[in-house]
Homo-oligomer: A and B are copies of this chain.
């Protein structure tokens, strides 16, 4: 990944003339008005480690790697939120981890944690570097230095149990590599978050990732049958049985712990036979609340889609869901779902709903039929397979689109929350209003789009995409103000501060509102018990 982008340099493409015209006319921004990234201006903070430290570290990690090269430290200094990406342009003096250390096994991780405790050096685990919540921030937490602990060597399919449908995967495996290794055995994980091309198994576990097919295969935390976390006081192997009544569920206390309790080195996961059939079907609903009620009925009746999503009117109108693949070749929105629906005899506009079904032929047929019946009974109009196929084809493209929009002077970011069905509309309104008000106050119109990305029997997640114009000297602070407004709206309207992006630095100050003073006390007690010197990712999670 490029420093100031989500994707690689070769993935970067410019926007078509139509979108550039819209950005100019509506948001008043152009490629010239935006912040530019100057690689030559970048400087890394000097490493605070001594030669003696480095010699000791080399001994501690044995066969592993230790580096203080800027080329290693810089990409591990920041994640991939919009503030991160803009900071490469605005703040080229980069606070970096003092070294990058890549141990090769649990014993080396344990030895490294021992050394850190004795020496007063913090660690920040590094997987794919895709955090959008500041989870990589190299905060030494009062210690004299901080290491980036790269899990790259934990990159194997350690074992597979085809009968139980379980595989043990190294924490450093990326999504594509994990799928590749599983495919050799006829299996798939079925976890496809937008960060899939880069994010790692350990990152999914430690941040409670949720994927686009989570309606069918479950959130990542639901797929985890066991995991290994190396803490400063010893190794935890959690998850002995598929289900247990042997006290609190240790797995669910380690999942989402974001490196604050130790380093996740491997995860035992449920895997599925690669599906032999995939069916796609799209629908249009006249408005968001009608569509939301239909998704609710589908999920509460358990009709079984693998993917189900609903874009609101604005997101449907700009055709965001299906248009990311056309960046640079066509302008976004010129082939809108509304127009497609027109061709099929329906009304333009409305809200696009995408469904996808995976499994055996019989399974997908019955699930598709039952789901379609419910959606039609709740006011949906069928649009055929096309829009759902287009979405699937381009589904990892949105962050690359963000890169292009940022390059063209736009301010673009996403945020997400979840709540009960009965509170969904109020939460959506509150967040959209907060974002719009804050951004308008900074002097730009704001396009706030929303979709239901994940459904549960009792509620759903809301995924917001915001496009505005960069304004002022400091667009990072411009966005942070909007983000604060949105976060306060989420807390006030009863949503969770994060449905699948995790806590990191960015949401930490909202955690107590979510879990209460006693909840925070419980977290701190565990942190202190397993990380008595406070060396494990001190900047993240725990208030």
| A40 CB-CB contact with B under 8 Å | no
| Complex-state Cα separation, A456 to B420, whole angstroms | 26
| A118 CB-CB contact with B under 8 Å | no
The 7 tightest CB contacts between A and B, nearest first, are: A252-B252, A525-B529, A241-B496, A242-B459, A242-B456, A208-B245, A164-B420
Q: What residues of chain B lie closer than 8 Å to A163, measured between beta carbons?
A: 296, 420-422
Cβ B246 vs Cβ A522 within 8 A: no
Known interface pairs A237-B516, A458-B225, A458-B270; A501-B245 also in contact (CB < 8 Å): yes
Cβ A373 vs Cβ B363 within 8 A: no
Known interface pairs A247-B515, A363-B303; A525-B526 also in contact (CB < 8 Å): yes
Partner of A247, one of B234, B459, B501, B523: B523
| Complex-state Cα separation, A304 to B221, whole angstroms | 21
| A138 CB-CB contact with B under 8 Å | no
Known interface pairs A164-B421, A164-B458, A418-B241; A498-B235 also in contact (CB < 8 Å): no
Partner of A518, one of B236, B244, B497: B236
Partner of A519, one of B236, B373, B423, B524: B236
Report, as a range, how many residues of chain A touch the other chain. 35 or more
Cβ B302 vs Cβ A243 within 8 A: no
Copies of this chain, tallied across the complex:
2
A164-B422, A252-B252, A524-B529 known; 19 new pairs, CB 8 Å cut-off, are A166-B458, A219-B243, A234-B516, A238-B515, A241-B459, A243-B456, A245-B498, A245-B499, A246-B497, A246-B511, A247-B523, A247-B542, A248-B255, A248-B256, A249-B249, A249-B256, A250-B522, A302-B359, A304-B304
| A500 CB-CB contact with B under 8 Å | yes
Cβ B166 vs Cβ A242 within 8 A: no
User: In chain A, residues 344-376, which have Cβ atoms closer than 8 Å to a Cβ of chain B?
Assistant: 359-360, 362-363, 366, 370, 373
| A530 CB-CB contact with B under 8 Å | yes
CB of A542, distance to nearest CB on chain B (Å):
8
- What 1/0 mask marks residues of chain A from 75 to 113 whose CB sits below 8 Å from any chain B CB? 000000000000000000000000000000000000000
| A188 CB-CB contact with B under 8 Å | no
| Complex-state Cα separation, A249 to B370, whole angstroms | 33
Q: What residues of chain B lie closer than 8 Å to A522, measured between beta carbons?
A: 236, 250, 253, 526, 529-530
CB of A419, distance to nearest CB on chain B (Å):
6
| A336 CB-CB contact with B under 8 Å | no
Q: What residues of chain B lie closer than 8 Å to A370, measured between beta carbons?
A: 362-363, 366
User: In chain A, residues 421-480, which have Cβ atoms closer than 8 Å to a Cβ of chain B?
Assistant: 421-423, 454, 456-461
Q: Which residue of B lies closest to A495 (CB)?
A: B241
| Complex-state Cα separation, A519 to B523, whole angstroms | 14
Cβ B248 vs Cβ A257 within 8 A: yes
Interface centre among A247, A251, A373, A497 (most CB of B within 10 A): A247
Cβ B208 vs Cβ A244 within 8 A: yes
User: In chain A, residues 49-77, which have Cβ atoms closer than 8 Å to a Cβ of chain B?
Assistant: none
Q: What residues of chain B lie closer than 8 Å to A304, measured between beta carbons?
A: 302, 304
Cβ A256 vs Cβ B252 within 8 A: no
User: In chain A, residues 395-437, which have Cβ atoms closer than 8 Å to a Cβ of chain B?
Assistant: 417-423
Cβ A248 vs Cβ B240 within 8 A: no
Q: What residues of chain B lie closer than 8 Å to A420, measured between beta carbons?
A: 161, 163-164, 166, 241-242
| A502 CB-CB contact with B under 8 Å | yes
Q: What residues of chain B lie closer than 8 Å to A517, measured between beta carbons?
A: 234
Known interface pairs A519-B236, A526-B522; A496-B246 also in contact (CB < 8 Å): yes
Cβ B254 vs Cβ A248 within 8 A: yes
| A342 CB-CB contact with B under 8 Å | no
Cβ A458 vs Cβ B495 within 8 A: no
Cβ A418 vs Cβ B511 within 8 A: no
Interface centre among A273, A301, A458 (most CB of B within 10 A): A458
Cβ B521 vs Cβ A530 within 8 A: yes
Q: Which residue of B lies closest to A260 (CB)?
A: B247
Cβ B244 vs Cβ A496 within 8 A: yes
Q: What residues of chain B lie closer than 8 Å to A360, measured between beta carbons?
A: 301
Cβ A502 vs Cβ B362 within 8 A: no
Please list 28 pairs of residues, one from A and one from B, whose beta carbons are closer than 8 Å in the complex, sorted by A's number. A163-B420, A163-B422, A207-B245, A219-B243, A233-B521, A235-B516, A238-B519, A241-B418, A241-B496, A242-B418, A242-B456, A244-B418, A244-B498, A244-B514, A245-B502, A245-B503, A246-B496, A246-B515, A247-B257, A248-B254, A248-B523, A249-B253, A270-B457, A270-B458, A518-B530, A522-B529, A522-B530, A524-B529
